[in-house]
Amino acid sequence: MTDNNKRELTPFQEKWHTIIFEANTPAGRAFDIILLVAILISVVIVMMESVMPLQEKFGRLFHILEWVFTIIFSLEYLFRVWCSYRPKAYITSFYGLVDLLCILPTYVEAFYGGAHFLLTIRILRLMRIFRIFKLVPFLNESKQLSLALQQSKRKIFVFLFFIGLLTVVLGAIMYVIESEHNSGFTSIPVSVYWAVVTLTTVGYGDIAPITPLGQAFSALIMIMGYAIIAVPTGIVTVEMSRIRSREDVDRRVCPHCMREGHDANADFCKYCGNKL
Amino acid sequence: MTDNNKRELTPFQEKWHTIIFEANTPAGRAFDIILLVAILISVVIVMMESVMPLQEKFGRLFHILEWVFTIIFSLEYLFRVWCSYRPKAYITSFYGLVDLLCILPTYVEAFYGGAHFLLTIRILRLMRIFRIFKLVPFLNESKQLSLALQQSKRKIFVFLFFIGLLTVVLGAIMYVIESEHNSGFTSIPVSVYWAVVTLTTVGYGDIAPITPLGQAFSALIMIMGYAIIAVPTGIVTVEMSRIRSREDVDRRVCPHCMREGHDANADFCKYCGNKL
Amino acid sequence: MTDNNKRELTPFQEKWHTIIFEANTPAGRAFDIILLVAILISVVIVMMESVMPLQEKFGRLFHILEWVFTIIFSLEYLFRVWCSYRPKAYITSFYGLVDLLCILPTYVEAFYGGAHFLLTIRILRLMRIFRIFKLVPFLNESKQLSLALQQSKRKIFVFLFFIGLLTVVLGAIMYVIESEHNSGFTSIPVSVYWAVVTLTTVGYGDIAPITPLGQAFSALIMIMGYAIIAVPTGIVTVEMSRIRSREDVDRRVCPHCMREGHDANADFCKYCGNKL
Amino acid sequence: MTDNNKRELTPFQEKWHTIIFEANTPAGRAFDIILLVAILISVVIVMMESVMPLQEKFGRLFHILEWVFTIIFSLEYLFRVWCSYRPKAYITSFYGLVDLLCILPTYVEAFYGGAHFLLTIRILRLMRIFRIFKLVPFLNESKQLSLALQQSKRKIFVFLFFIGLLTVVLGAIMYVIESEHNSGFTSIPVSVYWAVVTLTTVGYGDIAPITPLGQAFSALIMIMGYAIIAVPTGIVTVEMSRIRSREDVDRRVCPHCMREGHDANADFCKYCGNKL
C-alpha cells in the first residue's frame, strides 16, 4: 500500500520503527520477547494484588513494581508515537487505544485515588499479546483457525441468535411452571439465565427445578442442548476441513499461465487449457 | 402454485399485501424492521414485568406500554386478515394462530383478571420473528443449517429415543443403588431426571450419589455421556459437510469428453483440455 | 441358513410364529405395536409405583395392573416357546432370558415378599423394545448409527482406557493437594470420582477444590477435558462420514462381473477390467 | 539402529532381555500380562489404603501386600538393569526413572516414616502400563489416535493459549462486576478459576453470579463456551479424517496409464482397464 500521508522518519527513527513495529530482525524479536515477559509479569501482579492475604503481605512491593511497569509501558507508548510513520493513526487505532488504556489507570489512581476497580482495566494488557502474535510468523496455525472461524461466522451468528430466542422462550415456560413452588425462579430474566445454564450443559445448580413437571421439562431442555451442541461443531469442522483440503491441493503451477490450484487428477490446466 | 380459491383484492389491498406479507420492496422491508423492533421491545417489557422491584417501580408505565403494543399488534392482525388473499387460511395457519395468541392474553386479563401467568404467553411473540426471517433473504445461512438438521432428523430421533431408554434404565439402577442411603433419589422418575442431568454432562449437583457403588456407577455414566455426545455431533457434521460440498461442485459438463466434476473457477476441462 | 436341528411346526404354530417372531405381515406388525404399548405402560407403572404419594393413592390399582401385564407377558413367553422352531435355543438366548427376567420378579415377590428392589428389574422390559425395532424395517437409520459405532469401537475403547488411567492419576494428585484442607477429598477413590466428574465437564459441585493450588490444577483438568472431548467426536464423525460416502458411491453394476462399488469417475470395472 | 556402545550380553541375559523388553515371544507376552496384573492390583491397594474404614480393617493386609509388590517390582527393576544392553541409558530414561520412583516411596516411608503422601507417588505405577502397550502390537488404534493428536498439537496449543488469555480477561471483568456483592468472587485468580469452570461448561456451582449484570455476562460466557468447544473438535476431526483417508488410498500405480488413486480392492485400472 503506497501512502502519501506518511511522514518522513529520520534514519534513527526508522531503525527503531523496525525494532518496535516489526519482528523480522533479531532486535525486533528480542523487543517482542521482552515486551511479552513484561506484560505477563505485570498481569500476574495485577491478579495477585486482588488476593487479600498477598496484598497485605507484599502490597508495598506490588505498588513499586506496578509503577516500574507503568513507566516502562509509558515510555514504550511515547516511543511508538515518536517512531510511527503516522502518529495520529497509531494513537486512534485499536491497539493504540489499548496501549493507552493499559497505562492510564495507574496515573488516574495516583491523582484521584479510590479508583480501586479502575486498576483492573490493566488486565487488558493481555490483549497486547495478540499484537505480538500478529507480528511473529511462528504461529501460522492461528491464521487457519481464525480463517475457519471467520468463514463460519455468519452461520454461527444465526445459530447463536436462534439459541438466544430459544432460551427466552424456555426460560419463560419454566418461570410459569416453577416460580410458585421454587425460590430460585424469581423472574423471567432469572429463568432465562437458568435456561442458558442448562442448555449449554454448564449446570451450576444454584437454581434447579423441584416440581416433577419442571424436572421433566428440564430433562427435555438438557437433551435438546446435548443434541444442539452438534450444530456449531458441525459448522466449524466443515470449514476447517475445507481450509485443510485446500492446502492439500496439488502445488503444480501451469507452465503457460502460471496459475495454481489444480486438482491432483488434472492433466490440463483448468484456466488456460494447456497441458500441465 | 395457481390457486382458484384466492379472492380478488382491490389495488389498495394488494399494495398493503405486498408491504405486510412480502419483503422485496423498501416499504415491505421497513414494515418488517418496525415490526421486529416492536416485538423485541414488547418482549423485553414482558420480561421486566416479572421482576418484582422493576414492576413495583415502573408497573404503571409497563401497563400503558403493554396496551400500546397490544393495540398495535391487534391492528396489524386485522390488517393481515383484511389484505390476505385467503383470510380463512391465514387465520387457521400456524402463524395466524401465533399472531392471535400474542394479543389475546392482554384482553383476557383485562376482562377476567387474575390470569397472571396467562400474560407470559405473550413471550411467544418471539416466534413471530421467525416469520420475518423467512421473508428476508439476507439469512441464506439459516436455510443450510435447517437443511442439515432436517436431513439428520431421523438419525437424531433414533439417537434421542435410545438416550431416552438408556436414561430410564440407568435411573432405575441408580434408584436401587442409592435410594436407601440418599435423600435425593426418592423415586425412579427423579432418578431418571438425575440420569439425564448426568448423561448430558449438565450436572446440577442438586442430586448427587453418596455411596461408593453409586459414585462408581455415576462415573461410568459420565464417561458414557462423554463418549455418546460424539454421536449427534457426527451425524450433523456429516450432513453439513455434504450440503457444503454439493454447493462447491460445478454442474458443468465438458462438451468434448462429457465429463463432470469441474471446479467453479475452471474455464477448461481438466481431463481433455478443451474449453468448457 | 438351512438348519436341520429345527423342529417341525404344525401349520397353526407356524402361523403364530410368523405373527410373533416376524414383522412383515399386518398381523405381525399389529402384534408388535400392541406389545410395544403394553411394555411402555407397564414400565410407566413400575416407575410410578416408586413415587410414594402416587403409590399411597393408587397402590391397589398399580398392583392389579401389574398382575394383568405380568400375566400377559407370561402368556406371550409361553407362546413364544410353543411356536418357536428351536424352543431351547430361544429360552437360552439373550432375549429369551430378558423375557423371563421381566416376568419373574412379580411371582417371586408374591411368594416370598419383601423383595422390594427386585421389582425394579421389571424396568428391563424396556430392553425388549430393541427386539421389536430389530424386526421393524422402518428404522434403517439405527443400522447406520450402530455400524459407525461398531467400526469406531476399538478406537473408543483405547480412548476410554486412557481416560480411565488419566482420571486415576489426576484424582491421586488432587487427593495429595486437597485432602488435608477439604472435607470433600476423603480418599483416592473419591478423588478419582471427582476427577471423572470434572474431566467429563459434568461438574456436580458436591466436591470442589478450595485451595488455590487445587483450583489451579482443576482449571487445567477442565481445559484438558474440554480439549479431550474432541477425540471421541472425531472418531465417530470420521466413521459416519465413511459410511455415508460409501452410500453415495456410484450404483453402477459391471455388466461383465456384476459387481458394484465403482467410483463415480471410473470408466472401467476395477474388478474385471471391462468397460462399465 | 546399529549402536556400538551397547555392551555384550551373555546368552542367558539375552534370553531374559527378550522376555522383559520385548513382546513377540510367548514368554515375553506372559511376562507383560503378569506385570500388568501386578501393577493393577498394587494400584488398587494404594487406592484402598486411602479409604479410612478399609485401612482400619485391612491395614495390616495392605501393608504386607504392599511389601510383596514392592519387592516384586524391585527385583524386576534390578533384572531390567542387569539384562539391558545399555544399563545407564535405561536408568536415566523416562521409564527407568518411573520404574525407580514406583518402588522408592515404600523404602523411604519404612526408614523415615511419616511420609504419608509420599506413598501416593506409587500411583504413578499406572504410567508403566503405557510401556506395556507400546510393546504389545494389538493396539494399533492408539497409534492412529496419537498421530492425529500430534498433528493437531500446534493448533490445539494455539487454541488453549487463546482460552487461557480469554479466561483471565473474563475472570477480571466478573471480579469487577460481582466482587462487592458476592462472597464467591474474592479475587481475580478465583474469578479466573470460575471463568474456566464456566467456559468449559463444567459448572460446579461453588461460585455463581448473583447480580443481574453478572448473570447476564455469565450467560454470554456460557454461550461462548458452547460455541468455542467446536474448535478443538474441528481440529481433531479433520486430522483424524486425513489419517483415515490416507490409509484407504492404495499406493499402486497403473503400469499402463501410470495413474494412481485405485481402491484397495481394485484388480484393474479404473481409468484404462488394464491389469494393475
Residues D16 and D37 in one domain: yes
Domain assignment present for residue C182? The answer is: yes
Alpha carbon distances (Å) from C216 to A181, B226, C183, D176, D189: 38, 23, 18, 20, 9
Contact (CB, 8 A) for A253 and A261: no
Digit-coded pLDDT (tens) for D105-154 = 888 888 876 656 777 788 888 888 877 766 554 456 677 777 888 888 87
Q: In this predicted complex, what is the ipTM?
A: 0.82
Mean pLDDT (whole number) for D56-80: 92
**CB contact burial A86-98 (16+ within 10 A = b; e otherwise):** eeeebeeeeebeb
Percent of chain C with pLDDT over 90: 26
Residues C166 and C238 in one domain: yes
Domain assignment present for residue C146? The answer is: no
Digit-coded pLDDT (tens) for A200-237 = 999 898 899 999 999 999 999 999 888 888 888 888 88
The predicted pLDDT at position A248 comes to 53
Nearest to C224 by CA among C150, C153, C173: C173
Mutate to test the interface with B, among A226, A233, A236 (most CBs of B within 10 A): A226
Residue A268 has phi, psi (to 5 degrees) of -125, 150
**CB contact burial C228-259 (16+ within 10 A = b; e otherwise):** bbbbbbbbbbbbbbbbbeeeeeeeeebeeeee
**Chain D: nearest CA to C105, how far in angstroms?**
34
Domain assignment present for residue D144? The answer is: no
Residue B143 has pLDDT above 80, yes or no: no
Domain assignment present for residue A134? The answer is: yes
The predicted pLDDT at position D139 comes to 56
Digit-coded pLDDT (tens) for B247-276 = 655 456 666 776 666 655 566 666 666 666
Mean pLDDT (whole number) for D34-57: 90
Question: Would the CB atoms of A196 and D222 count as touching at under 8 Å?
Answer: yes
Residues A183 and A69 in one domain: no
Residues C9 and C132 in one domain: yes
Percent of chain B with pLDDT over 70: 83
CATH number at residue A131: 1.20.120.350
Domain assignment present for residue A272? The answer is: no
Nearest CB to C187 within list D51, D127, D265:
D51
Spell out, as residue ranges, where chain C has pLDDT lower than 70: 1-5, 113-116, 133-141, 246-255, 258-276
Q: Rounded mean pLDDT of chain B?
A: 82
Nearest CB to D175 within list A120, A193, A199:
A120
Digit-coded pLDDT (tens) for A146-184 = 788 888 887 888 888 889 989 999 999 999 899 888 878
Q: Which of A103-117, A123-137, B48-62, C27-41 has the lowest mean pLDDT?
A: A123-137
Alpha carbon distances (Å) from D275 to A249, A267, D222, D237, D265: 28, 22, 59, 36, 13
CATH number at residue D170: 1.10.287.70
Q: Domain limits at B134?
A: 3-138
Mean pLDDT (whole number) for B31-35: 88
- CA–CA separation, C222 and C172 (whole Å): 16
* Chain B residues touching D202 at Cβ < 8 A: 203
DSSP letter for D268, please. B
Question: Would the CB atoms of D205 and B205 count as touching at under 8 Å?
Answer: yes
Beta bridge partners of D78: none
Domain assignment present for residue D268? The answer is: no
Question: Would the CB atoms of D223 and A163 count as touching at under 8 Å?
Answer: yes
Mutate to test the interface with D, among A101, A127, A136, A204 (most CBs of D within 10 A): A204
**Minimal Cα distance from C206: which residue of A?**
A205
Question: Would the CB atoms of D188 and A232 count as touching at under 8 Å?
Answer: no
Residue B2 has pLDDT above 70, yes or no: no
CB within 8 Å of D105: residues ≥ 6 apart:
D115, D118, D119, D121, D122
Q: Count the alpha carbons within 13 Å of D103 in the hemisphere toward its beta carbon.
A: 17
Residues C134 and C170 in one domain: no
Residues C97 and C208 in one domain: no
Residues B16 and B117 in one domain: yes
* Chain D residues touching C241 at Cβ < 8 A: 241
Burial class (CB in 10 A: 0-12, 13-18, 19+), D168: buried
* Chain A residues touching D259 at Cβ < 8 A: 265
Q: What type of residue is A259?
A: R
Domain assignment present for residue A26? The answer is: yes
Question: Would the CB atoms of B145 and A155 count as touching at under 8 Å?
Answer: yes
Percent of chain A with pLDDT over 90: 25
Alpha carbon distances (Å) from D198 to A124, C223, C270, D161, D239: 20, 11, 54, 17, 28
**Minimal Cα distance from D204: which residue of C?**
C205
Chain D: list its partners (3+ Cβ pairs within 8 Å): A, B, C
Residues A176 and A130 in one domain: no
**Chain C: nearest CA to A60, how far in angstroms?**
22
Digit-coded pLDDT (tens) for B84-101 = 888 888 899 888 888 898
More confident residue, D253 or C70: C70
**Minimal Cα distance from A142: which residue of D?**
D158
Domain assignment present for residue B275? The answer is: no
- A118 — pLDDT class (breaks 50, 70, 90): confident
Q: Which of A20-24, B116-120, C271-275 has the lowest mean pLDDT?
A: C271-275
Q: Count the alpha carbons within 13 Å of B93 in the hemisphere toward its beta carbon.
A: 14
Residue A136 has pLDDT above 60, yes or no: no
Residue D1 has pLDDT above 50, yes or no: no
**Minimal Cα distance from D145: which residue of C?**
C155
The predicted pLDDT at position B44 comes to 92
Burial class (CB in 10 A: 0-12, 13-18, 19+), B265: exposed
Percent of chain D with pLDDT over 90: 26
Number of domain units in chain D: 2
Residue A189 has pLDDT above 90, yes or no: yes
- B138 — pLDDT class (breaks 50, 70, 90): very low
Angle, helices B230-248/B212-228, rounded to nearest 10 degrees = 10
CB within 8 Å of B194: residues ≥ 6 apart:
B171, B174, B184, B185, B207
Residues C164 and C113 in one domain: no
The predicted pLDDT at position A41 comes to 93
Mean pLDDT (whole number) for D56-69: 92
User: Of A116, A138, A160, which closes a domain?
Assistant: A138
Residues B104 and B166 in one domain: no
Q: Rounded mean pLDDT of chain A?
A: 82
- CA–CA separation, D168 and B104 (whole Å): 48
Residues B123 and B98 in one domain: yes
Nearest CB to D203 within list B203, B233, B237:
B203
Question: Would the CB atoms of A52 and D187 count as touching at under 8 Å?
Answer: yes
Chain C: list its partners (3+ Cβ pairs within 8 Å): A, B, D
Digit-coded pLDDT (tens) for A4-21 = 567 788 888 888 888 888
Question: Would the CB atoms of B244 and A222 count as touching at under 8 Å?
Answer: no
* Chain A residues touching C202 at Cβ < 8 A: 203
Residues C130 and C12 in one domain: yes
**Minimal Cα distance from B186: which residue of C?**
C51
Mean pLDDT (whole number) for B65-85: 91
Digit-coded pLDDT (tens) for D160-183 = 888 998 999 999 999 989 988 887
Nearest CB to D270 within list C158, C234, C266:
C266
Mean pLDDT (whole number) for B18-40: 85
